[in-house]
Amino acid sequence: MMRDSISKKSTCKLLPNQRIVGRWQKNPYRIIKELGYGATGTVYLAEGQSGLVALKIASDSMSITSEVNVMRQFSKVQGPSLGPSFYEADDYVCKEGVFPFYTMEYIKGEPFLPFLRDKGAEWLGILVVQLLGDLHHLHKAGWVFGDLKPENLLVTKKPFRVRWLDVGGMTKQGRGIKEYTEFFDRGYWGVGNRKAEPSYDLFSVCMLFLNRAYPSRFEKDNDVGPAKLLMKFKEKKLIAPYESIFRKGIEGKYHHAQEMKKDLVDLLQHTSFSVKGNARGNNSNNSLKKRGARNKKSRKEKRFIGFFETMFVASFLLIIYILYLFGQTM
């Protein structure tokens, strides 16, 4: 089993401002900082001759070769860019040995959960709609994401868009999932196996909702299964509007990403979300209350202003959502 607690000792440690040169392509790179590490290696932000890149280095050439092959498959998948573009693969030779690495597009964005932290619950649904569209294209090409979790997702701006990062868990459909994180793994929760199929990813998507409400996550106990997860879900009002989607997902009733996406779009169109949880909305409400106290506004006036502000924010978010869905069809 591969989990988050993978030791960095299995990879080559690179330092800021360290320069490395590929053994075969002879392209130089300057290391800027570490971006993250996982089961198959460490990813660094580096500067190459053509600009910034993400450089992943490991000690196992087989794992690097496997990931490179997966990334090359992206170019064959119709639809939006599913993950970072692949640039080149090479070896780095140093006194500690020979370490395979590859470079890919550096995606600048905000991590998935921090992006959602000060936004209303509707934003989670909007991003998941787009994620499900991307998963549909991936599944049609015969692949499963596998290790789907917030750490492997970034939200870019102009426009807002979810992008995928680490492809180490990508698995051909029909095979066993090769890399996973327990909280997002249906096998861990006793609600399914670890066979690479669309429903495996869709379970992980459902767990994104729970992770939004439980940023620190939680572990299983003697009580596992859909009932346990549903109980934890119902304890959080923030994600309550998504209960019907969550229930069907963890029970394995969605077989295709498009099914889940359709239900989620319908839910977003017919659900009135509270602006509570949106930092701008909260600040505006607090400001209105203070001004109301100072000016001794009547209770009727306060209700009117509060209602007007809520409708304005809701309308603004609805316009963003419609424009976003329109962009997804282009």
DSSP 195: B
Q: Which residues are annotated as a binding site for ATP?
A: 56
Vertex 236 angle, CA 228 and 287, to 5°: 170
**Active-site residue, selected from the candidate residues 134, 147, 166, 201:** 147
Confirm if 179 and 146 have CB atoms less than 8 A apart: yes
Scored b (16 or more CB within 10 A) or e, 40-67 reads bbbbbbbbbeeeebbbbbbbeeebbebb
Q: For 127, list phi and psi in degrees, rounded to 5.
A: -70, -35
**Dihedral of the CA atoms 242, 245, 250, 256 (nearest 10)?**
-140
Confirm if 54 and 44 have CB atoms less than 8 A apart: yes
Vertex 83 angle, CA 60 and 267, to 5°: 130
118 is catalytic: no
Q: Which residues are annotated as a binding site?
A: 56
Confirm if 58 and 42 have CB atoms less than 8 A apart: yes
Tokens of 185: 């793994």
Confirm if 54 and 105 have CB atoms less than 8 A apart: yes
Residue positions annotated with a catalytic role: 147
